[in-house]
């Protein structure tokens, strides 16, 4: 969901006259942490079914990734949108921490994702997710919002995911609109210059 939000933000930023060059102006404290945390999550996701000790420690690793991610966001809280992203990540972290390190997912909301996914979900071995049960704490903070056609990708997201995407949208818009495209500059200059030629 986060990646979808980033792509949508880039498109809207472009249509608003922003430029990808603005992304080059991104100055984040500890910026190297973000790709590292993503790599760790992907590594655990793909290896936990193949390596026993990784499967055993995966819950703790996911929580540690979230804690480091929250520290990274807090260090950059002066950036536009980052306080909102922090709030979204914190919501996801809270529900995962209260439920053993995995994000609870509504079986009802995830039905359209297929039987294989549901079975893996119930087994508690699908990435960092597990099925919501009667023992789940704060289930409303889990993945309970289904996204299906006409949305281009079928998935189930949480309230925290939505909040995170709002923050990412604000940050990307700020970066892109701080460096408008040349075409937008030219159009603005022509508009400004036109009355002087009449």
- The string of pLDDT tens digits covering residues 20-77 is 888 887 888 988 888 898 898 888 888 877 888 888 888 889 899 999 999 999 999 9
Residue 145 confidence class, pLDDT cut points 50, 70, 90: very high
Task: Report how far apart, in Å, the C-alpha atoms of 28 and of each of 9, 18, 34, 37, 41 are.
Answer: 19, 20, 10, 15, 21
Average pLDDT, the chain: 85
Task: Report how far apart, in Å, the C-alpha atoms of 191 and of each of 17, 19, 67, 186, 195 are.
Answer: 15, 20, 50, 9, 8
Give the pTM.
Answer: 0.81
- The string of pLDDT tens digits covering residues 148-198 is 877 777 889 999 999 999 999 999 999 999 877 665 555 555 555 555 444
Beta bridge partners of 195: none
Average the pLDDT over 110-138 and give the result.
Answer: 83
């Amino acid at each position: 969901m986060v990646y979808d939000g980033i792509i949508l933000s880039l498109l809207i930023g472009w249509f608003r006259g922003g430029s990808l060059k603005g992304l080059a102006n991104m100055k984040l404290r500890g910026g190297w942490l973000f790709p590292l945390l993503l790599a760790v999550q992907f590594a655990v996701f793909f290896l936990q079914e193949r390596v026993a000790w990784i499967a055993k420690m995966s819950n703790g690793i996911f929580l540690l990734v979230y804690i480091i991610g929250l520290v990274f966001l807090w260090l950059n809280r002066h950036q536009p949108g980052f306080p909102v992203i922090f709030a979204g990540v914190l919501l996801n972290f809270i529900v995962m921490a209260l439920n053993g390190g995995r994000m609870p997912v509504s079986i009802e909301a995830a039905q359209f994702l297929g039987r294989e996914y549901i079975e893996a979900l119930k087994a508690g071995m699908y990435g960092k997710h597990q099925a919501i049960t009667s023992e789940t704490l704060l289930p409303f903070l889990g993945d309970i919002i289904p996204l299906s056609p006409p949305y281009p990708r079928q998935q189930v997201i949480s309230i925290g995911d939505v909040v995170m995407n709002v923050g990412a949208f604000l940050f990307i818009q700020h970066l892109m609109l701080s460096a408008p495209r040349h075409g937008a500059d030219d159009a603005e200059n022509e508009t400004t210059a036109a009355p002087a030629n009449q």
